[in-house]
Structure 1
Amino acid sequence: MERILRSTNYPNLYGLGLYNIPNETALRLFNDETCFIHTFKNQISSLVINIINSGNKCLTEKMDTLVFTHIFIVFTNLQYLNFHPFSIYFPRLSFDISSPIVFCSTLLELYVNVECFTDCLYLLDGRFNQLQTLHVNITRLVSSHSTINNKEKLHNLRYFSLFCDILTVGYDELILPLLQRMSNLEQLDLHIVAIHDDKFIDGNDLKKNIINNIPQLNKFEFNIHSNVSLDNQNDLLSNEDIRKTFKDFKDSLVISRSDFFPSINEGQCHIYSYPYKISHYNNITNNFPGGLFKYVYQVSLYDERPFEHEFFIQIEKSFPFMKKLKVDNKEPQSNKQCYESRNNNRNLSNIKYPHLTNLYLDYSHDDYAEQFLLDFKMSLPNNVYLHINYESLQRVTHDFTRDTTRINCSKLAHLHM
Structure 2
Amino acid sequence: MIELADLPDEVILAIMNKVEYRAELLCSIIGIGNNRLEQLALDKCHSIDLTFDYFDSPYELLMQRFYSHVMPRIYYNIQSLTLNVHHIRHFVTYVNENYNGTLLNLTHLKLVFGKRCFKTGTPYTIGNDINSVLHGEPLFSIIPEFLHFDGTIGGRILSVLRCSPLIHSIISFELDDDCIFPDAPNDDGLFFVHSSQLTHIRVTLCRFDHCVRLLNQLGPQIHSFSVSLVHVRIGDVDIISKMTSISCPNLKILTMTIYRNILCYEECIPPLLQRLSNVEHLTLLLAVGVIGNRPDHFIDGFDLEKDIVSYMPHLRQFKFHIRSILIDASHTEVDAIRRTCVKHQSVGCALDYFNNHYGQCQIYSLPFIGTRLDFISNRFPLFDINNTFSNVTVLLLFDDVKPFESVFFERVTQALPSLRTLEVSNELKQQEKSANSLVFARLATLILYNVHMNYAEQLLCRARLPCLIELAIRNDLLLAMVAGDNQQARYNCSKVETLRTSELPSDPTDSIQNFFPLDSCFKYSKKEQK
TM-score between the two structures when normalised by the length of structure 2? 0.65
Match of 1:256 in 2: 349
Over aligned residues, Cα RMSD in angstroms?
Answer: 3.3
Aligned letter for 2:204?
A: N
Match of 2:35 in 1: none
The whole-number CA distance in structure 2 between the counterparts of 1:24 and 1:109 is: 21
Match of 1:279 in 2: 371
The whole-number CA distance in structure 2 between the counterparts of 1:307 and 1:112 is: 36
Alignment CA distance shift 1:380-1:137 (3 Å):
closer
Match of 1:340 in 2: none
Are the equivalent residues in 1 in contact too, given 2:347–2:365 (CA < 8 A)?
yes
Q: Which of 387, 396, 407 is matched with 1:310 structurally? A: 407
Alignment CA distance shift 1:147-1:309 (3 Å):
same
The whole-number CA distance in structure 1 between the counterparts of 2:185 and 2:320 is: 30
Are the equivalent residues in 1 in contact too, given 2:81–2:106 (CA < 8 A)?
no
Alignment CA distance shift 1:371-1:130 (3 Å):
same
Alignment CA distance shift 1:113-1:14 (3 Å):
same
The whole-number CA distance in structure 2 between the counterparts of 1:223 and 1:104 is: 32
Match of 1:341 in 2: none
The SS at the match of 2:216 is: coil
Aligned letter for 1:318?
A: A
Aligned letter for 2:226?
A: H
The SS at the match of 1:166 is: strand
Match of 2:439 in 1: 352
Match of 1:367 in 2: 454
Aligned letter for 2:84?
A: N
The whole-number CA distance in structure 1 between the counterparts of 2:88 and 2:172 is: 23
Per the TM alignment, residue 382 of structure 1 is displaced from its structure 2 partner at its CA by 6.8
Q: Which of 38, 52, 63 is matched with 2:156 structurally? A: 63
Alignment CA distance shift 1:276-1:64 (3 Å):
farther
Q: Which of 233, 239, 242 is matched with 2:337 structurally? A: 242
Are the equivalent residues in 1 in contact too, given 2:113–2:179 (CA < 8 A)?
no
Per the TM alignment, residue 351 of structure 1 is displaced from its structure 2 partner at its CA by 2.8
Q: In the TM superposition, what are the counterparts of 1:182-201 in structure 2 within 5 Å?
A: 182-195=276-289, 196-201=294-299
Are the equivalent residues in 2 in contact too, given 1:321–1:355 (CA < 8 A)?
yes
Per the TM alignment, residue 356 of structure 1 is displaced from its structure 2 partner at its CA by 2.5
Higher strand share: 1
Are the equivalent residues in 1 in contact too, given 2:259–2:285 (CA < 8 A)?
yes
Match of 2:484 in 1: 400
Alignment CA distance shift 1:205-1:356 (3 Å):
same
Greater mean alpha carbon deviation, residues 59-68 or residues 188-197:
59-68
Q: In the TM superposition, what are the counterparts of 1:320-335 in structure 2 within 5 Å?
A: 320-333=417-430, 335=431
Alignment CA distance shift 1:55-1:194 (3 Å):
closer
- Structure 1 stretches of 5 or more lacking a match? 338-344
User: Does structure 1 residue 140 correspond to structure 2 residue 205?
Assistant: no
Identity over the aligned pairs, expressed in percent? 23
User: Does structure 1 residue 299 correspond to structure 2 residue 424?
Assistant: no
Give deviations 1:331-360, integer Å, cap 9, x for gaps. 122x336xxxxxxx7xx6543222223332
Aligned letter for 1:219?
A: Q
The SS at the match of 1:134 is: strand
Are the equivalent residues in 2 in contact too, given 1:158–1:186 (CA < 8 A)?
yes
The whole-number CA distance in structure 2 between the counterparts of 1:15 and 1:171 is: 39
Give deviations 1:299-346, integer Å, cap 9, x for gaps. 11101121122222221221112222211001122x336xxxxxxx7x
Alignment CA distance shift 1:394-1:17 (3 Å):
closer
Q: Which of 474, 497, 516 is matched with 1:389 structurally? A: 474
The whole-number CA distance in structure 2 between the counterparts of 1:215 and 1:382 is: 47
Give deviations 1:62-98, integer Å, cap 9, x for gaps. 4255245324x4444432222x2xx222242213674
Aligned letter for 2:348?
A: I
Greater mean alpha carbon deviation, residues 209-218 or residues 97-106:
97-106
User: Does structure 1 residue 412 correspond to structure 2 residue 508?
Assistant: no
Give deviations 1:104-145, integer Å, cap 9, x for gaps. 443221122222111111211144432111111222122131
Are the equivalent residues in 1 in contact too, given 2:276–2:312 (CA < 8 A)?
yes
- Structure 2 stretches of 5 or more lacking a match? 1-65, 116-146, 502-530
Alignment CA distance shift 1:43-1:297 (3 Å):
closer
TM-score between the two structures when normalised by the length of structure 1? 0.81
The whole-number CA distance in structure 2 between the counterparts of 1:396 and 1:296 is: 29
